[in-house]
Amino acid sequence: MKTSRKFAAALGAAAMLLVLAGCMVMPGKFTSDLALRRDGTFTFHYKGEIILAALAQGSKSTKADAIPPEPFEQQPCTDPQTDEAHDCSPVEIAQQRAKWNDEQKAKKAAKANEDVQNRKMMQAFMGGIDPDDPKAAAAFAQRLARQEGYASVVSKGGGKFEVDYSASGRLDHDFTFPTIERLPMVMPFVSLIRRADGSVRVDAPAFSTAAANPVMPGLGAMAGAMSGMKESGKAGAKPGSDGPPIAEGTFTLRTDGQILANNTDEGPQAEGAGLSRLDWKVDARTATAPTALIKLAK
């Protein structure tokens, strides 16, 4: 039983790190719009929250020093020759307690080593930012603010950052938002992929509930189940209540190109001046990420 619990805890910790890696940066409340012209020029704007998952969810592990030792339980004493039980002598009790002390020290050392390894792994995912560092939010805000396109970046605490970002140019290459310096794994909020036939695929994979675990959903579910089992014995525990943040906002696409495909509820809406508009409302009920295919002039 103890072995299975240890395996469950290790698997849960590994799964949590993988889930955090996949959804390291997520949208919160936002408004976003994209203007895409037939000549290949575009303007993109995102105003609202960016959530750094590791700071928003906090540390999921208990430090080794904070774990209370298991209570000492005296074991039955038996005669090694006859295997008959007898009252434990003071010497036998002392031997049991010494063995118990050694086991507790070994468990504490193993937990401390696990904390160090998990912390190093999380720092690698976060491009060197330590989520346990009180200055982590300021470091991340500074990293964003120095990138082109960010008019403002304000830390709101709890891993939330209020940003105002805009970009414009010509789609002679693909475009993705956000790309963040030194973060190796970031799910795109919005991506524009130019095809050889002159069409552009617009995707917003982070604007859906599916973005909660984009990399390994099965492992993420197992981690949640393990966490729920671990917490189920605690008063007021609510397994699954510490889920990832859910995006909430609107995404609007305006274009004078030909709309070949889209998954909006209403379809294209005429807006005048030869423009058509696609609108997506994003909230906890958005199961499918916004997507569209727009034909531009070659």
Predicted confidence (pLDDT) per residue in 16-63, tens digit: 554 544 457 899 999 999 999 999 999 999 999 999 888 876 544 455
* Phi and psi angles of residue 150, each rounded to the nearest 5 degrees, phi first: -90, 110
> In residues, how long is the chain?
298
Name the band, by pLDDT with cuts 50, 70 and 90, for residue 141: very high
Query: Among 107-111, 174-178, 229-233, which stretch is predicted with the lowest mean pLDDT?
Result: 229-233
Q: How far apart are CA 127 and CA 78, in angstroms?
A: 57
Looking up residue 187, the CATH number of its domain turns out to be 2.60.40
CA 119 to mean position of chain CA atoms: 15
Asked if residue 11 belongs to a domain, the reply is no
Q: Is 78 helix (H, G, I), strand (E, B) or coil?
A: strand
Give the residue-averaged pLDDT of 194-221: 74
Tally the domains of the chain: 2
Burial class (CB in 10 A: 0-12, 13-18, 19+), 112: middle
Q: Structure pTM?
A: 0.71
**Structural domain for 105, as ranges:** 63-130
Domain boundary among the residues 106, 130, 154 is at 130
Asked if residue 42 belongs to a domain, the reply is yes
Same domain, 196 and 54: yes
Name the band, by pLDDT with cuts 50, 70 and 90, for residue 272: confident
The pLDDT of residue 101 is above 60: yes
Q: What is the mean pLDDT of the chain?
A: 81
Same domain, 147 and 265: yes
Same domain, 147 and 273: yes
Angle of helix 217-231 relative to helix 2-22, nearest 10 degrees, comes to: 130
Q: Give the burial string for 242-269 (b: 16+ CB within 10 Å, else e).
A: eebbbbbbebbbbbbbebeebebeeebe
